[in-house]
Structure 1
Amino acid sequence: MQIFDSNLTPAELRRRTGDTAAFGGIRQVVLDNGSERGVRAVELRTSAGLELQLLVDRALDFGDARLAGVPFGWRSGNGYRHPGLHEPNGEDGLSWLRAIDGLLVTGGLDHTLFGGEYDASHYNYPPKQTVKHGLHGRLTGIPARLLEAREIWDGDNAILRVVGEVVQATAFGEHLKLTRTVELDFDGREIRLHDRVENLGFERTPHMFLYHLNFGWPFVDEGTEFVAPIASHLWQSDSIAEQGISYRHLPEPQRGMVEQVTEHELIAGPDGRHRVALIAKDGARGIDLSWDAAGMPNFFEWQNLRDGAYAIGLEPSTNHVLGESAAREDGSLIWLEHGEFREYSTSIRVLGGEAETSAVRAAIREIGDQPD
């Protein structure tokens, strides 16, 4: 393992400390103030300076994220609100906006994107002919059950692993289980996320899934470039034509900016994965994001570049941006029978230095170009 400037085996590392937690490890904590009070979290820390907070009571989503003390995950100002405060159908379905905060907020498990009222006759419960969904579904407000949080030492390698499960269920409705595994190398700068969503119920059930991966300053800054192999823009919000802010090169924070959303048609690499990046203007830092294209073939770029909320959201998705109604109409909505499941594999690598950012840019350009 690369520990600071030394190449050490685990035995050599242990000769130099009474506790390897001095250099990296896992700690379980409970947040205890304000709207966050009672939220369980798992904190992971690597010897390379990568720190990641997993919010157990927020569906095991990602909270704070830093490298060498520098944040790359976005903070919205909402805080990591206790799920007991969450109202999934409040504010005409927009109460999810009071919950979004941190590096990852997952949408699902049976609905993502904007809300509405949909047919529920497949559940065979006459009083429930329809079901109402708010923005990005109910998952954000469901606590996880922590199954594993430990260091695994195997020969010359060590990883930090956290596993949990989240069950979204109701009588006469969906009964879906998300099993989430997060791994970091003890000496690494990469987050590996593996999700499995299974239908535990015996009724045919819709499944939609989305990662709202949120990056903020200083990884998002004036001149930061969004790099991706893009075949075309499938959809753009009206605000893009009105404001004319580039999807590719980011400006400084904008007073009163209206959010911009673009659905990009990405080109998958030879490994079957989609890959995009955020690269600082001077190449000194960046984010390398990749995921299995078969699981999440669609992708949105969310630009929330206004004063006080300066962020970019990179959003792999099972569905197109027009959401559940369009998916039902065109037949693209995923339906899971009893015992059926879907799996998703994603990695987030934090880049440091021009050599790394240049290499990632070149690798993406080999897959495909992008429009200006």
Structure 2
Amino acid sequence: MNIFGNEIDRAELEKRTGDLSAVAGIRQVVLDNGVERGVRAIDLRTSAGLELEVLVDRAFDLGSARFRGAPLGWRSGNGFRHPGLHEHSDEGGLSWLRALDGLLVSGGLDHTLFGGEIDATRYAYPPKQSVTHGLHGRLTAIPARLLEAREVPGAHPDAAPVLRVVGEVVQATSFGEHLRLTRTIELDFDGREIRLHDVVDNLGFEPTPHMFLYHLNIGWPYIDEGTEFVAPIAKMLWASDSASQQGVSYRTLPEPQLGFVEQVYEHELVAGPDGRHRVALLAPDGSRGVEVTWKAEGMPHFFEWQNLRSGQYAVGLEPSTHHVAGDGAARDDGSMTFLEHGESREYSTTIRVLGGEEETSAARAAIRALHGQPD
């Protein structure tokens, strides 16, 4: 392991401290003030300076994240609201926006994107002919059950130990969906990357729709004026009207804008030989960046969300199972995923913090080797 610039194995490290958590580790906490009161969380720290907060009671999503003290995950001002405060159907289905905060907010498990009324007759309950969905579904406000939080050995004897947390979230109703998300989050003891492995399976006995989306939110200083979005883009499939009206580039960010209207793009990405999609946000001087890779098979679609408004300054990187047109369109064109009883889908994603020009240049070169991108 590389610990504070020293190459050292575990045995030698143990001689130098009576508790490895002085260097890196896992701590379970309960938030206890304001809208966050009662929310269980897990803090993970690596010796490289990566700090991550896992929100057990908010669908095992990722809250605050920092690298060497600098915030990586975006903070919206909403706070990590207790799920009991969530209003799923308020504000025309847009109340999900009051829970939007932190590095990762997951959408699903049976619906993502904008809401609406969807046929529910497949569940054979006459009083329930349809179901109404809000923006990005119900997953965000469901507490998880913590299954594991511990340090485990690395992949081989000389590898660094791994900080691992596992949780499951069940989204269920009588006469409706019964889906389970099992999420594993891993950080190497001396690492700078976050590895997510998700499995969604159908515990019910009716074929059940499944949609899934990651809203990965990056904030200042990992985005700022001049930050470049780098991706292997075959074509731009869709852009919100605001993108043409405001004239703000999807590639290079401006400073925060007063009254900025969110811009959303759907990009068709080119996967690498390893079957993974790869995108990055890179500082103009190459001093820092963040790279996200994921298995293209599970989430073949990708959205870029620009929220460059003053006080809300963020970029969202959004791998998705479905196109931006959403639930109704997926049912109409036959692209909706239906899980049979016992059937599952797996998702694998890595978030890597880049430090210095050598690493940011290497990330850019790896992406450019896959494909260019439109101006």
1:290 aligns with 2:312: no
After superposition, the C-alpha distances for 1:291-341 in whole angstroms (9 at most, x for unaligned) are: 000000000000000000000000000000010011001100000010000
SS at match of 2:363: helix
Flag structure 2 segments of 5+ consecutive residues without an equivalent. none
**2:166 counterpart letter in structure 1:** V
Q: CA deviation at 1:91?
A: 1.0
The Cα of 1:153 is off from its aligned counterpart by: 3.0
Letter of the structure 1 residue corresponding to residue 257 of structure 2: Q
Question: What are the within-5 Å matches in structure 2 for residues 62-73 of structure 1?
Answer: 62-73=62-73
Distance (whole Å) between structure 2 residues aligned to residue 137 and residue 153 of structure 1? 36
SS of the equivalent of 1:218 reads coil
Match of 2:340 in 1: 337
Structure 1 residue aligned with 2:311: 308
Whichever residue aligns with residue 307 of structure 2, its letter is: N
Opposite residue 221 of structure 1, the aligned amino acid is: D
- For 2:45 and 2:338, locate their aligned partners in 1 and report how far apart those are by CA, in whole Å: 38
**Does residue 274 of structure 2 align to residue 271 of structure 1?**
yes
Tell me the residue number matched to 2:129: 129
Partner of 1:87: 87
Give, in angstroms, the shift of residue 90 of structure 1: 1.2
Query: Is 1:43–2:43 an aligned residue pair?
Result: yes
- Give the secondary structure class of the aligned counterpart of 1:361: helix
Normalised TM-score (structure 2): 0.99
Q: Match of 1:34, as an amino acid?
A: G
The answer to whether 1:201 aligns with 2:211 is no
**What letter matches 1:199 in structure 2?**
N
Identity %: 74
Give the aligned partner of residue 366 of structure 2: 363
1:121 Cα deviation from its structure 2 partner: 0.7
Provide the C-alpha distance between the structure 2 equivalents of 1:151 and 1:204, rounded to a whole number of angstroms: 38
CA distance in structure 2 between the aligned counterparts of 1:13 and 1:326, rounded to whole angstroms: 56
2:9, 2:365 → 1: CA distance? Answer: 33
Matched, 1:176 2:175: no
Measured in 2, the distance between the counterparts of 1:214 and 1:94 equals: 18
1:144-179 deviation per Cα after TM superposition (whole angstroms, max 9, x unaligned): 000000011353320000000000000000000000
In structure 1, what is the equivalent of residue 170 of structure 2? 167
Deviation string, structure 1 residues 265-306 (Cα, Å, up to 9, x no partner)? 000011100000000010000001000000000000000000
Where in structure 1 do 4 or more consecutive aligned residues deviate above 6 Å? none
Give, in whole Å, the separation in 2 of the partners of 1:298 and 1:14: 45
How many Å apart are 1:201 and its aligned residue?
0.3
**Partner residue, 1:317:** 320
Aligned residue for 2:322, secondary structure, equals coil
Distance 1:169 1:38 in 2: 23
Q: Could you say which residue in structure 2 is the equivalent of 1:190?
A: 193
* Corresponding pairs, count: 372
Q: Any residues of structure 2 matched to 1:106-121 within 5 Å, and which?
A: 106-121=106-121
Shift of 1:84: 0.1
Deviation at 1:225, TM superposition (A): 0.1
* Amino acid in structure 2 at the alignment position of 1:334: T
Instruction: Name the SS of the counterpart of 1:212 in structure 2.
Output: strand
| Equivalent AA in structure 1 for residue 107 of structure 2 | G
Let me know the Cα RMSD of the aligned residues: 0.5
| Post-superposition offset of 1:230 | 0.2
Following the alignment from structure 1 to structure 2, what is the Cα–Cα distance between the partners of residues 276 and 214?
13
2:230 is equivalent to residue 227 of structure 1? yes
Number of the residue aligned with 1:218: 221
Residue 97 (structure 1) shift: 0.4
SS of match in other structure, 1:15: helix
In 1, Cα distance between the equivalents of 2:184 and 2:351?
Answer: 14
Give secondary structure in 1 for the equivalent of 2:57.
helix
Alpha-carbon distance in structure 1 between the residues aligned to 2:327 and 2:21: 46
**Inter-partner Cα distance in structure 2 for 1:103 and 1:240:** 24
TM-score (norm. length: structure 1) = 0.99
Paired residue secondary structure (2:272): coil
1:146 maps onto 2:149 in alignment:
no
Confirm whether residue 252 of structure 1 aligns to residue 255 of structure 2: yes
Residue 352 of structure 2 aligns with which residue? 349
**Which AA in structure 1 matches 2:180?**
K
Structure 2 distance, partners of 1:337, 1:121, is 16
Q: In the alignment, which residue of structure 1 is the partner of 2:34?
A: 34
Aligned-residue offset at 1:87: 1.1
Can you give the 5+ residue segments of structure 1 that lack an aligned partner in the other structure?
none
Provide the C-alpha distance between the structure 1 equivalents of 2:59 and 2:140, rounded to a whole number of angstroms: 6
